[in-house]
A and B are shown apart, each in its own frame.
Chain A
């Protein structure tokens, strides 16, 4: 394949290829299950039933999906601008600090619908600021954003550990976390939506930040494909040289994209902190930022794809918990493997199957891949 990849029909590009990649990732994961000595088909059934079988399962699946929509969008916005933001994890973690300040100050005086917007702003601002420094260094000093954001993940973790075992911890408590929030900082649940469909829910943390996540997905779509800024970001991501030639300020576009990315990462913290745990605890992000990489790649950086991929990963998290219960040999770490395989096949190896699929399409109908029939002419 020496020619640049010929065009496939959109449905194949955005539907078929991701599905094939995903399928291969799951086949390999199935082999790992086999290696552990369990039946991969039974494992898959337990997983899907655990995620969608009961109302509670669905609510949990959507709760996890909320988190991954935020982190997936965060990675995607940066990626459209050609930046790989590995720092989503750290930006989300440090945003817990902003949320903690808002919640601990206002939770006994304000109702939730006033605390929530304040917390959104705090989370977004802190996340954006944490992304600002690596962005500035990339734009002005040329330091590689991947390395700096990794470093900032560790620095964020150190700061949060320091604060949570020290200043933010109530004196009487041993656990490294803030005091529990009062009702003024607890987000209302959304379980009634699922109950409308007749399913019963015992207790699940699905909350209003799910709607915020969907709204953000829409806004990201609007930003990337319907605004001048989004156009500039995509231009820069496609070809920094072309962007420079078109008079787009490199510094401005890098910093803006990274700050939006950081703000989205920061909002992720609202879901577990205000929607579920009602405190800020050590390691509350627990890898969701990295899941965002898998989600963004699988969703092909499009908000619709990201929402779907996030629901898939939500399913893996919730179903995985059930699976660990039924098959003790397969703990939740199985998801980490699947996540890695998805990143490998949908990300790094995304072009592996493309030539074959193109050949297949070309043999059926050359027009569909944008080629004229070459019969008798000699390529």
Chain B
């Protein structure tokens, strides 16, 4: 029974840890499918986390915080769009710039506004998203097997967790079952064809980036308002890059993205749980190895040893109308 409980707990923290990855990964999916590489997921999450926690603690409202997180994150996405769509700048350079501006400005503004060494004030109960208990969770908690799975694993998360997982089928539906999605994918594969059909490439790509901004904003809000009761400097700690890795791992598909993020979240949960205690058969695994595993797996995938990852064809290329 102990083993079972341990498994349930590890899976529970897997869900918690994979939510920010999943949101950021889906965010990247929208922009990369539209042909815009986005290294700046990390930065947009970070500004989202900061804006969310700051607004929530000033206005005493979790939902205002979330709104502000989304707003600021979308604004940063628009900077990326302005540089890489309107001015046809290098998308990677622009993404790198956004990450730096985000990293620096959250610390400077946080220190200037709250004087707590770059932190925002600890969020009070009404200012963060609380856990939701699903109906009947307490009633069946004591039922063996099913009880813990329902009460621990599925129930007791914040609304953003359910939202993140709901975004997976939603994104699939938007991309593969709507006219907007068809055009969005087309603009990432062959923008000239979309242009010939009389549809604005730039406006489509801007809309894709707005979707990206909304999702990275929610991802940031999750970090600072659910996982942690406030903003801490550099709290994204490379999650944006792991999300990027997950996106490649998922071969730019929404359902795959969920499994990739769950896998990377599981590795993270496992490394926290083990903390240097030896595994059966394998023996002691260094924490650092577990932390590096998502990156190693992605490189192996990119090398073409586990299937082949083929990015959207027009990715990273600014669209020039006349040729």
B109 contacts A141, C-beta separation under 8 Å? no
- Taking a contact as CB atoms closer than 8 A, the residue among A142, A155, A349 that contacts B295 in the complex is A155
Q: What number of A residues sit within 8 Å (CB to CB) of B?
A: 49
Q: Closest residue of chain B to A154, judged by CB?
A: B295
Task: Flag whether A244 is at the interface (Cβ < 8 A).
Answer: no
Determine whether the beta carbon of A331 is less than 8 Å from that of B89.
no
Confirm or deny: A37 has a beta carbon within 8 angstroms of a beta carbon on chain B: yes
- A154→B241 contact, CB < 8 A: yes
Interface set, chain B 169-210, CB cutoff 8 A to A = none
Distance to closest chain A CB from B19 (angstroms): 21
Contact A340/B302 with A155-B295, A297-B93, A329-B112 known, Cβ cut-off 8 Å: no
Q: Which residues of A contact B131 (CB under 8 A)?
A: none
Chain B residue numbers with a CB within 8 Å of A141 are 302-304
* A290-B100 in contact (CB<8A): yes
Stretch from A145-153, A197-205, A218-226 at the B interface: A145-153
Q: Tell me whether B66 is interfacial, beta carbon within 8 Å.
A: no
Instruction: Determine if A283 is an interface residue (Cβ-Cβ < 8 Å).
Output: no
CB distance B245 to A151 under 8 Å? yes
Which residues of chain B are within 8 angstroms of A350 by Cβ–Cβ distance? 89
Instruction: Tally B residues with Cβ within 8 Å of A.
Output: 51
Task: Using A2-B322, A155-B296 as known contacts, say yes or no to A348 and B244 having CB atoms under 8 A apart.
Answer: no
User: Please, how many angstroms separate the alpha-carbon atoms of A35 and B109 in the complex?
Assistant: 8
Q: Mark B70-99, 1 if CB is under 8 A from A, else 0.
A: 000000000100111001111111101111
Are B93's CB and A36's CB within 8 A? no
* Closest chain B residue to A341, Cβ basis: B101
| Shortest CB distance A286–B (Å) | 12
Return B117 CB to nearest CB of chain A, in Å. 9
Q: How far is the CA of A341 from the CA of B111 in the complex (A)?
A: 20
> CB-defined interface of A254-274 with B at 8 Å, one 1/0 digit per residue?
000000000000000000000
CB nearest to B286 among chain A residues: A162
- Is B90 in contact with A158, judged by CB distance below 8 angstroms? no
Question: Across the interface, which residues of A come within 8 angstroms of B296, CB to CB?
Answer: 151, 155
Are B100 and A336 interface neighbours, CB within 8 A?
yes
Give which listed residue, B102, B107, B311, contacts A331 with CB less than 8 A.
Answer: B107
B130 to chain A, nearest CB (A): 32
> For the complex, is A334 an interface residue (Cβ under 8 Å from B)?
yes
Give CA–CA (A162, B90) in the complex, Å: 35
Cβ contacts A120-143/B at 8 Å (1 or 0 each): 000000000000010001000111
B87 and A352 contacting across the interface, CB-CB below 8 Å? yes
Q: Are A152 and B299 in contact (CB under 8 A)?
A: yes
A103 at the interface (CB under 8 A from B): no
A331 lies within 8 A of B111 (CB):
yes
CB distance from A178 to the nearest CB of B (A): 17
**A154 vs B241: C-alpha distance in the bound complex, in angstroms?**
9
Query: Given the complex, which residues of B lie within 8 Å of A331, measured CB to CB?
Result: 107-108, 111
On chain A, the residues within 8 Å of B108 by CB distance are: 32, 36, 329-331, 333-334, 337
Inter-chain contact A146/B104, CB cutoff 8 Å: no
Please, how many angstroms separate the alpha-carbon atoms of A350 and B309 in the complex?
32
Asked if A309 is an interface residue, CB under 8 A from chain B, the answer is no
Most central of B296, B298, B303 by chain A CB within 10 Å: B303
Flag if A36 contacts B299 (CB, 8 Å): no
Q: Which residues of A are found within 8 Å of B304, using beta-carbon distances? A: 141-143
- Whether A348 contacts B105 by the Cβ 8 Å rule is no
Is B292 an interface residue when CB atoms closer than 8 A count as contact?
yes
Q: Contact check, A151 vs B299: say whether CB atoms are below 8 A apart.
A: yes
Which residues of chain A are within 8 angstroms of B94 by Cβ–Cβ distance?
344, 347-349
A residues with a Cβ closer than 8 A to B are 2, 32, 35-37, 84, 86, 133, 137, 141-144, 146-148, 150-152, 154-155, 158-159, 161-162, 166, 290, 293, 297, 329-331, 333-341, 343-344, 347-352
Q: List 30 A-B contacts (CB under 8 A).
A: A2-B321, A2-B322, A35-B109, A36-B112, A37-B112, A84-B92, A137-B302, A148-B302, A150-B39, A158-B288, A158-B292, A161-B288, A290-B96, A290-B100, A330-B108, A333-B107, A336-B100, A337-B104, A338-B104, A339-B104, A340-B101, A340-B103, A340-B104, A347-B90, A348-B83, A348-B89, A348-B91, A348-B94, A349-B89, A351-B88
